[in-house]
Amino acid sequence: MLRALSLALLFLLPLTAAAEETPLPNPQVVIKTNEGDITLRLFRDKAPVTVANFLAYVDAGHYNGTIFHRVIPNFMIQGGGFLPDMSEKATGAPIVNESRNRLHNIRGTVAMARTADPDSAAAQFFINQRSNLQLDWSPGQDGYAVFGEVTDGMTVVDYIASSPVQVMNGHPDVPAEPIVILEIARKPLP
Spatial CB neighbours of 70, under 8 Å, sequence gap ≥ 6: 76, 77, 78, 79, 126, 171, 172, 173, 174
Domain ranges of the chain: 29-187
Q: What is the percent of the chain where pLDDT is above 90? A: 85
d(CA 111, CA 125): 6
Instruction: Tell me if 106 sits within 8 A of 131, measured CB to CB.
Output: yes
Tell me which of 18-32, 33-47, 128-142 is least confident: 18-32
The DSSP output letter for 27 is P
List the CATH code of the domain at 29-187.
Answer: 2.40.100.10
pLDDT over threshold 50, residue 9: no
Q: For the whole model, what pTM was predicted?
A: 0.88
Q: How far apart are CA 176 and CA 185, in angstroms?
A: 26
Distance CA 113, CA 108 (A): 15
Nearest-angstrom CA–CA distance, 145 and 46: 10
- What is the structure's pLDDT at 171? 96
The answer to whether 132 touches 146, Cβ cutoff 8 Å, is: no
